[in-house]
Amino acid sequence: MGSIYNQDFLNNLVLNPSESLSVEIKRWIDPQSKEGIAKIAKACIALRNNDGGIFLVGFNNDGSPDIQGAHQLPKESFHPDVIQSIASKFCSEAFEVKIHYLEKDGQEYPALEIPSGFTTPVAAKAGLKDEQGNKDLIKAHTVYVRSLNSNNIVSSSEPRCNDWERVINLCFENREADIGRFLRRHLGGLTPSLLREFASTIAQAIQPEESIEDILRPYLQESVERFNSVVKERSLNLPEHGNWQVALIIIGEVPQHYANTQFLNLLAFNNPKYTGWPVWLDSRGFIDQDQPYVYNGTWEALLVSLSSGWSRHIDFMRFDPKGKFYLRRALEDDMSVKNYAPTTMTALDFALPVIRTAEAIAVGIEFAKAMGCEPEKTQLAFAFKWTGLRERRLSSWANQERSIWLEGLAYQDEVLAFVNVPLETPRSALAQYVNQAVNPLFTIFNGFELSIDVIEDLTRRLIERRL
């Protein structure tokens, strides 16, 4: 990379990009603006996923200098601390970005050097919206790669299906190179047969990281089985109903807690209780069979009320001090005793899933903070599942100030959605994650898509307790 300081090399690099060196060229950008930050972060991620390269700033697509947008003091605006801060905040993998300043006709141009050697795809670990808060400039948890647009101009974008093979192959090539260097350095005295045996053992030990879905699915299934077992033990005959489930696993270091009264007190005290029947509620003041109990190191509670009084409900909850939580709740559309409630198994009020999902995420954040998890180092992995949806219609029976009733029936019976929420997410930013969770649910109703403005309004009303 030393030749990059040479002026002749710069001219050739801009006009005739090398096949062996990935180069991305952009006109002048402002590293202090959100648009500039997004371009730098996405370029760093994309070039890292291409096994390194150069991000040149200050040139037009044809290789000519961008004279009009030139920075007077590029060494200040593109200071290494500024660029490294952007990379550290938005790149899921930590790596050093070197900054070179190249001179042409008296003007300095920044050249960001992204190192090679990645062994897993790099994604955006945080999102970024535009100044108006409407457009996603960076999508959290999204992988970006280098791609050609219709004009054959290289840019950073989300991968298409044919991009993944190249990215994964580069990852494995780097892993193989790491193994080879290790063997040569430490095992040079071993016989060829022993080297082959050792290399084979190491290769078998390299397994792809377990995805969020792989972690959540077994816990979700385990919790469903526990619910069925408890219902059977209590000889309950439950009426036909749909349900929604939420499984939460804290990803990160979870301080040690135990399934004792102190742990249950901690959760109860830190549950914001945004609604009259909050998620993961404390049922210790309820009748005996509804009170929580410990099973295999986990607090559990099954709350069942099927009377025709003011409230009917079926809730099953789990509180694991290792940082896992589960809730299964019968759909209110099937349990309400209000005289304007729909016939069982026929409707789904569009606002209720939004409100309950927002509440689950908000309460999960409070639980993780109360347990002592570090916000900057912790993610909350959520799975949301709705069942018993087939032949329902979307309605607004429970929220009659908003009129909606779709004629199309749902053909699909179940919907499962996964959402990963950074613990440091402020309450004002919850709506984007709620939207990720509920959109797959609404789609099965003839492709319906609920406006993000409505989701933001309902989420805000929940947090402000104005529902």
Shared domain for 153 and 173, answered yes or no, is: no
Shared domain for 292 and 318, answered yes or no, is: yes
Nearest to 275 by CA among 226, 327, 228: 327
Nearest to 104 by CA among 47, 57, 62, 44: 57
Cβ pair 112, 76 in contact under 8 A: no
pLDDT band at 163 (very low <50, low <70, confident <90, very high): confident
Give CA–CA dist 378/43, Å, rounded: 25
The structure tokens listed for 7 are 């002026």
> Domain end: 145, 180, 205, which one?
205
Give CA–CA dist 77/80, Å, rounded: 9
Shared domain for 366 and 236, answered yes or no, is: yes
Checking if the pLDDT of 422 tops 90, the result is yes
- Give the highest mean pLDDT range of 170-184, 329-343, 363-377, 405-419: 363-377
Higher pLDDT, 230 or 16: 230
pLDDT band at 18 (very low <50, low <70, confident <90, very high): very low
Shared domain for 330 and 354, answered yes or no, is: yes
Shared domain for 134 and 265, answered yes or no, is: no
Shared domain for 150 and 26, answered yes or no, is: yes
**Cβ–Cβ contacts within 10 Å for residue 425, how many?**
20
Q: Which of 43-47, 197-201, 259-263, 407-411 has the lowest mean pLDDT?
A: 197-201
What is the reported pLDDT for 19? 44
Average predicted confidence (pLDDT) for the chain: 87
Shared domain for 154 and 217, answered yes or no, is: no
- Give the highest mean pLDDT range of 41-50, 207-216, 235-244: 235-244
Q: In this structure, what CATH number is given to the domain that contains residue 81? A: 3.30.950
Checking if the pLDDT of 114 tops 50, the result is yes
Shared domain for 175 and 266, answered yes or no, is: no
Shared domain for 168 and 155, answered yes or no, is: no
Cβ pair 251, 422 in contact under 8 A: no
Pairing of strands 379-387, 243-251: antiparallel
- Average pLDDT over every residue of 196-213: 65
- Average pLDDT over every residue of 269-277: 94
What is the reported pLDDT for 151? 46
- Give the highest mean pLDDT range of 3-7, 121-125, 161-165: 121-125
List, in order, residues 6 or more apart from 379 with CB less than 8 Å away. Answer: 250, 251, 252, 420, 421, 422, 423
Checking if the pLDDT of 150 tops 70, the result is no
pLDDT per residue over 300-359, tens digit each? 999 999 986 667 999 999 999 999 999 999 999 999 988 889 999 999 999 999 999 999
Structural domain of 354: 212-463
SS3 readout for the chain: CHHHHCHHHHHHHHHCCCCCCCEEEECCCCCCCHHHHHHHHHHHHHHHCCCCEEEEECECCCCCECCCCCCCCHHHHCCHHHHHHHHHHHECCCCCCEEEEEEECCEEEEEEEECCCCCCCCEECCCEECCCCCCEEECCCCECEEEECCCCCEEEECCCHHHHHHHHHHHHHHHHHHHHHHHHHHCCCCCHHHHHHHHHHHHHHCCCCCCHHHHHHHHHHHHHHHHHHHHHHCCCCCCCCCEEEEEEEEECCCCCCCCCHHHHHHHHHHCCCCCCCCCCCCCCCCCHHHCCEEECCEEEEEEEECCCCCCCEEEEEEEECCCEEEEEEECHHHHCCCCCCCCCCCEEECHHHHHHHHHHHHHHHHHHHHCCCCHHHCEEEEEEEEECCCCCEEECCCCCCCCCCCCCCCCCCCEEEEEEEECCCCHHHCHHHHHHHHHHHHHCCCCCCCCHHHHHHHHHHHHCCCC
Task: Give the pTM.
Answer: 0.59
Shared domain for 167 and 251, answered yes or no, is: no
Share of the chain above pLDDT 90, in %: 60
List, in order, residues 6 or more apart from 198 with CB less than 8 Å away. Answer: 183, 187, 190
The structure tokens listed for 129 are 């919206």
pLDDT band at 280 (very low <50, low <70, confident <90, very high): very high
List, in order, residues 6 or more apart from 85 with CB less than 8 Å away. Answer: none
Nearest to 463 by CA among 325, 329, 319, 357: 357
Checking if the pLDDT of 9 tops 70, the result is no
Shared domain for 350 and 425, answered yes or no, is: yes
Cβ pair 216, 249 in contact under 8 A: yes
Checking if the pLDDT of 244 tops 90, the result is yes
Q: Which of 23-37, 220-234, 423-437 has the lowest mean pLDDT?
A: 23-37
User: Could you tell me the sign of the dihedral formed by the alpha carbons of 405, 355, 425, 50, in that order?
Assistant: negative
The structure tokens listed for 443 are 């789609």
Higher pLDDT, 132 or 72: 132
Q: How many residues are recorded in the chain?
A: 467
Longest dimension (CA), the chain: 85
Checking if the pLDDT of 109 tops 80, the result is yes
**Total tally of structural domains belonging to the chain:** 3
Distance of CA 68 to the CA centre of its chain: 39
> Domain end: 184, 205, 226, which one?
205
> Domain end: 205, 230, 265, which one?
205
List, in order, residues 6 or more apart from 342 with CB less than 8 Å away. Answer: 333, 395, 397
Q: Helix 452-463 and helix 431-443: axis angle, to 10°?
A: 130
Shared domain for 184 and 259, answered yes or no, is: no
User: Could you tell me the sign of the dihedral formed by the alpha carbons of 327, 218, 262, 302, in that order?
Assistant: positive
